[in-house]
């Protein structure tokens, strides 16, 4: 979340404090607090995302970094699932050959 005061990507969801923020929560507004400047602000939950052309260079860099991290995690998962499947197939082949060899 981008802080409207200092324009950094250090804002995070915050707990609701007071009647104002609780009522705003009923209207789909959530409180955020910036780690950089400490400013609290309300942001509409279903905000209209900016298009790629309107995004700042920092937002584009953050999006690219997050996409790369997600892709790296997916590749690691695919490798682990593939390795697990390969080991399962080896084990099944060993069990089948063990069972057919003792029948003579």
Give the C-alpha distances (Å, rounded to integers) separating 89 from 21, 70, 96: 56, 29, 10
Alpha helices in 1-104 (DSSP H): 18-26, 57-101
Q: Is residue 12 within 8 Å of residue 35, measured between CB atoms?
A: yes
pLDDT in tens, the chain (104 residues): 788 888 888 888 888 888 998 888 888 888 999 998 989 988 887 765 555 556 678 888 888 999 999 999 999 999 999 999 999 999 999 999 988 865 54
């Amino acid at each position: 979340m981008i802080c409207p005061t200092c324009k950094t990507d250090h804002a995070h969801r915050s707990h609701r404090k007071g009647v104002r923020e609780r009522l705003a929560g009923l209207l789909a507004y959530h409180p955020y607090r910036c780690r950089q400047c400490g400013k609290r602000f309300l942001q509409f939950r279903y905000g209209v995302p900016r298009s790629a052309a309107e995004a700042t260079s920092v937002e584009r860099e953050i999006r690219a970094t997050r996409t790369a991290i997600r892709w790296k995690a997916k590749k690691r998962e695919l490798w682990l699932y593939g390795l697990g499947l390969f080991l399962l197939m080896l084990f099944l082949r060993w069990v089948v050959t063990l069972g057919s060899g003792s029948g003579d």
